[in-house]
Structure 1
Amino acid sequence: MIADDWRAARSSAPPGHLDAAGYNIPSDRVHHAVVDHLRREREVGGHRAAPDLHPSRSALAALVGAGAGDVAFLESGTAAMAALLGGWRLPPGSRVGVGRTEYGSTLMLLHRLARLSGWKLLELPVDDDSRLDLDGLTSLLSDGLDLVALPHISSHRGVVQPAAAAGRLCHAAGVPLVLDVCQSLGHVDVGGAGATAYVGTSRKWLAGPRGVGFLIVPGLAEHDQDMDAAAPALGGHTWVHGDPSPLAGAARYETFEGPIAARVGLGVAVREHHDLGPAAIHARLAELGVAARRLLDGIGGWRAAEPLDEPSALVTLRPPPGADPEAAVENARSRAAQASLLVGAVPVGRAPADLPTPVLRISPSPGTRRETLDALARVLDH
């Protein structure tokens, strides 16, 4: 079973860990790969210890149907988004569709770029669950959009956006789609989204080390006329006849300096993900998310913020009516910690356009046992 295989690979993981959406538990093999590379750097120096990351790029790219040359490693999902959007050539007056569930730092970046570049940000229409309204997107596209930015699953709400359908609509309209997969890659199927670019991170559902983000731009050469050749300050350029020109593929976005050992660890984590079977992992996580919502919704007055049968393992709970939201969330998290349970708390600033109050976030990994969820239910029923 996938749950047993997951637990066996993480023999030292705490059993009460319910925060995969914040920082998942790397396997013992991933941990050893990071430590071994750090030891190698100490013995021979960083440059001589430089690893071959091509297999890691290939494994990561395969999850979205791309190639190794389409992958750039950066320091975080936020850094990857900034590298991508900061270099996108859109003329003044361009219209950019943005979801209300957008991550706070990305929203700030987009507003800053809009002020500097004269873009107009348009809110993508959603339903009562903040799920993208495809008819509304079709209308916006017909009125004229130049770019769409969408989080596949948000940090504060476990609703799975219809990324594949949105990708088809954007492709038909000739509009690039930037898909934030920080909370979805390794969690749900991303392969059919058909996005122009994917931005993600290591430390969440892929169970890699901290300090690694990535950018995947399938077939980047075909989109070069729409993207700035500018690359991060520490890498990405070569010089031809006195003029800067970009490196081929996604390498133009990659920083030369960085936590190389963590990039090695991410490669190991992604290959483990393939070995365990992405479809089996996705099914197990969906099962856990549904079980957690059905168990916890209504306990102690807490209510699930997404539909109970939503096929994701990112579960958010709104505080009981009449309680001070911030105090209720922090108190619940503290009591959970006393019971050796690690859960997350999401502040309003994480999604200022969509989150009216803080929420408690529960995000089990595939190896989570039912008794761990039962223990959390007892805590919340206090």
Structure 2
Amino acid sequence: MSAFDVQRVREDFPILRQEVRGRPLVYLDSAATAQKPQAVIDAIVRFYQHDNANVHRGVHVLSERATEAYEGARETVREFINARDAREIVFVRGTTEAINLVAQTYGRKNVGPGDEVLITHMEHHANIVPWRMLCEQTGATLRVIPVDDRGELVLDAVDALLTEKTRLLAVTHVSNALGTVNPVKELTRKAHAKGIPVLVDGAQSVTHFPVDVRELGCDFYAFSGHKMFGPTGIGVLYGRLERLESMPPYQGGGDMILSVTMEKITYNRVPHRFEAGTPNLEGAVGLAAAIRYLRSLGMDAIAEHDRALMAYGTQALESVPGLRLVGTAREKVGVLSFVLEDIHPHDVGTILDREGICIRTGHHCAQPVMQHFKVPATARASLALYNTREDVDALVRGLHKVREVFG
């Protein structure tokens, strides 16, 4: 951690300076939404103060500047994930919309009765429900790669599940409920060997380590701005250009067309074909600022900080009497999910809140994996680049307080 000055990083996040309930804020809920550095806040304010106008169609100077900022953000995203072409970057509201877009465009065009869509047992609901809906609409079947008791995929099952009926594999890069890092490069290789495209849910990965979509080889990659220290309401769907160009529009309206008559509509080129209506301009600007901030720190340095803090946090939590970690994969990042013996996770979260500690409790929009581990819910502490060992120590003290309250 010597190469990563976490105390200096914390100074960039104004929200962390406050006290809550008379105690210094300990924010351990970044997997739900991450806090924003001043650089992102300033970029959004500056856009509204100086450049705010609608994009693409205006000939006045503000519209030209707004368009330059918006399309510049697309190029910033392209560089960040090493896509080949800026046309492969589609701005959406977030990971959820990105997956729904693929399900209702690529899926509706290529999945039919008797076909199969393959997902995993650890998916977030956003990577389950759209595929279930697609299967109900088309008569296809949803198949599932199982997980073991460590929270790792049962890779021996993959080859048998990838069949001539499989039309798409959709898999999370990092489980939001367990922290498991899945071998998406290997999974993509296996799927492509049988001509099966792959979608990766990257909502929990892009903040923890470098992501190179060309190295992974996937066909689609989705992530959200608000989980990577950017604004809410903005996200990205990366799609290989040939995939996107083969897909019909997702929604109708302005900017996704080239011409409209009452007799005929000519649709716009990729990526604008998938960006109907006025886009989230300040969101794109803020997302670009968040990416620049991450790159200024260095993704490799962030990853090393994360690994060290996860190791420290795992060891610290294992010392708490009656605590059981849920998800002990050999490779995991960002997430420490646990249950305390005979104490409901919601009670754990409520008492920790009184100590100024923010964690998440519940099923984390991953009910199937909760059912696998035979728990209704877990308490989840999620770590980010601004968290410290002192935050982990405060969590452990808070958990001892929880045990005292419940005797």
For 2:54 and 2:251, locate their aligned partners in 1 and report how far apart those are by CA, in whole Å: 24
Separation (CA, whole Å) in 2 of partners of 1:288 and 1:309: 15
2:104 pairs with one of 62, 71, 86 = 86
Are the equivalent residues in 1 in contact too, given 2:151–2:328 (CA < 8 A)?
A: no
Residues 41 and 354 of structure 1, relative CA distance in 2, 3 Å threshold: same
Alpha-carbon distance, 1:230 to partner:
2.0
Report matched runs for 1:63-82 at 5 Å. Answer: 63-66=80-83, 67-82=85-100
Matched, 1:329 2:351: no
* CA shift in 2, pair 1:94/1:224, >3 Å: farther
- Check whether the contact 1:56–1:267 (CA below 8 A) recurs between aligned residues: yes
Once the two structures are TM-superposed, the CA of residue 308 in structure 1 deviates from its matched residue by: 7.0
| Aligned positions, number | 371
Equivalent residues of 2:151, 2:329 under 8 A apart: no
Query: Displacement, 1:153?
Result: 1.4
Amino acid at match of 1:19: D
Give the 3 Å change call, closer, same or farther, for CA 115–379 of structure 1 in structure 2. same
Q: Out of 375, 391, 405, which is 1:372 matched to?
A: 391
- Identical aligned pairs, as a percentage? 23
Cα distance between partner residues in 2 of 1:4 and 1:304: 28
In 2, Cα distance between equivalents of 1:79 and 1:291: 35
Spell out, residue by residue over 1:264-300, the C-alpha distance to the aligned partner (whole angstroms, 9 max, x if none): 1011101121221111111211221221121112514
Q: Find the counterpart in structure 2 of residue 8 from structure 1.
A: 11
Asked if the contact 1:167/1:177 (under 8 Å) is kept, the reply is yes
SS in 2 for 1:87: helix
- Decide whether aligned partners of structure 1 residues 275 and 87 sit closer, same or farther in structure 2, where only a CA change above 3 A counts: same
Match of 1:254 in 2: 275
Distance in structure 2 (CA, Å) of the matches to 1:165 and 1:283: 23
Q: Take 2:144 and 2:229, find their aligned partners in 1: how far apart are those partners? A: 32
After superposition, give the CA deviation of every residue in 1:6-64 in whole Å (9 maximum; x if it has no partner). Answer: 2232254245111111111111010011122223366x678635242233222322343
Cα offset, 1:5, TM superposition: 4.4
Q: Which residue identity lines up with residue 341 of structure 1 in the other structure? A: I
Is residue 234 of structure 2 the alignment partner of residue 212 of structure 1? yes
Shift, 1:189, TM fit: 3.6
In the superposition, the TM-score normalised over structure 2's length comes to 0.84
Q: Cα distance 1:27–1:223, how it changes in 2: closer, same or farther (>3 A)?
A: closer
The 3-state SS of whatever aligns with 2:128 is helix
* Equivalent residue number for residue 345 of structure 1: 361
TM-score (norm 1): 0.89
Larger Rg: 2
Distance 1:255 1:223, change over 3 A: closer
Q: Following TM superposition, by how much is the alpha carbon of 1:253 offset from its aligned partner in structure 2, in angstroms? A: 1.8
The offset of 1:224, in angstroms, is 3.5
Letter in 1 for 2:236: F
One-letter amino acid matched to 2:97: A
- Quote the residue 1:161 is aligned against: 182
* Structure 1 pair 117–309 and aligned structure 2 pair: CA distance change class (3 A): closer
Q: Quick one: which amino acid aligns to residue 25 of structure 1? A: Q
Contact 1:287 1:311 in 2 (8 A): no
Letter in 2 for 1:354: V
> Shift in Å at residue 160 of structure 1?
0.8
Q: Extract unaligned runs of 5+ from structure 2.
A: 18-24, 402-407
Bigger mean CA offset, 150-159 vs 235-244: 235-244
Mapped to 2, the partners of 1:374 and 1:207 lie a distance apart of 24
Task: Name the CA distance, whole Å, in 2 between partners of 1:144 and 1:134.
Answer: 19
Contact 1:157 1:314 in 2 (8 A): yes
Per-residue CA distance 1:96-131 (angstroms, 9 max, x = gap): 101111212432221111111111111123333332
Q: Extract unaligned runs of 5+ from structure 1.
A: none
**Residue 233 (structure 1) shift:** 2.6
The equivalent of 1:34 in structure 2 is 44
CA RMSD, Structure 1 to Structure 2 (Å): 2.4
Query: What SS class does the counterpart of residue 395 from structure 2 fall into?
Result: helix
In structure 1, give the amino acid aligned to 2:271.
A
Distance 1:29 1:307 in 2: 35
**Aligned-partner Cα distance in 1 for 2:54–2:103:** 34
Paired amino acid for 2:88: D
From the superposition, tell whether residues 317 and 238 of structure 1 become closer, same or farther in structure 2 (CA, over 3 Å): same
Q: 1:311 to 1:104 in 2, by over 3 A?
A: closer
Alpha-carbon displacement from aligned partner over 1:328-347 (angstroms, at most 9, x marks no partner) = 22222122222222111232
Q: Report the secondary structure of 1:153's partner residue.
A: coil
8 Å Cα contact 2:149-2:327 kept in structure 1: no
Counterparts of 1:259 and 1:142, CA distance in 2: 40
